Homo-oligomer: A and B are copies of this chain.
């Protein structure tokens, strides 16, 4: 933090921490649970919750004893999507790609050590778990994340990722040296492939969208892990072709 910068505003920081804590929790949280999870003093928390409820950013259950994210948080959050100049082009790309390969396809952006899903087009026969727009997964477990981590140097990757890496399945790469080895292969061949590292029964191939260096965005296809190698190869070629076309369009449009 530079010395010239003003300090963070405590109430503002607490406000977004409360919202993030509510967002991460599966259930509504009571004031005591929020106090426990945030460590904020009860009196401060009480006044902040009243403010957020009043402004529709937090809602209470019918007994007014527990809190959850409110509708105005949704309104504001999705504005991130509305303002992204690359997204409409990426959505067109996903439509074309799904029409060609018939599998579920995604457009995502790296957010630190995670990938954030910005658009998804579902396979007609989707029977596996589909990340929804606005959801986030650890970068190291997904093909999307691996192809975007491969845009960084090994030193940058090591500085970015927590250790140990959290496993989501028995196939998740949890060893950082093994991951950087995998990223090296991704750099050489230009695409990433993971099989059941994020979700059992699902494989995924991803290609970075080359309109920024390092690339922040990638396109992926998630497919049943049981597909034959020839089918995977065909899908990979289609993902490469459509993602290159998207990158060319974005550069032509001057979107950076």
Q: Which residues of A contact B (CB under 8 A)?
A: 5-16, 19-20, 22-24, 26-28, 43, 46-48, 50-52, 54-57, 62, 68-83, 109, 111, 116, 132-136, 256
Contact = CB atoms under 8 A, between A and B. Distances in A.
30 contacts: A5-B50, A7-B47, A8-B47, A9-B51, A10-B11, A11-B11, A12-B12, A12-B14, A15-B15, A16-B52, A16-B55, A19-B76, A20-B76, A22-B79, A27-B83, A28-B83, A68-B80, A68-B83, A69-B77, A69-B79, A71-B80, A74-B78, A74-B80, A74-B81, A75-B116, A75-B134, A77-B78, A78-B78, A78-B134, A78-B135
Chain B CB within 10 A, most for which of A10, A27, A52? A52
Contact of A132 (B26, B50, B78): B78
Contacts of A82: 132, 135
A127 to B, nearest CB: 14
Nearest to A55: B16
A9 B22 CA distance: 19
Contacts of A135: 75, 78, 82
A205 B20 CA distance: 37
Contacts of A5: 50
Contacts of A9: 11, 15, 47-48, 51
A76 B23 contact: yes
Contacts of A78: 74, 77-78, 132-135
A13 B50 CA distance: 10
Contacts of A79: 22-24, 69, 73, 134
A51 B76 CA distance: 17
A124 to B, nearest CB: 11
Given A50-B8, A54-B8, A109 B71 contact: yes
A102 to B, nearest CB: 15
Chain B CB within 10 A, most for which of A56, A68, A81, A256? A81
A24 B10 CA distance: 25
Given A12-B52, A22-B79, 11 more contacts: A6-B50, A9-B48, A15-B15, A16-B52, A28-B83, A62-B256, A71-B111, A74-B80, A74-B81, A75-B134, A75-B135
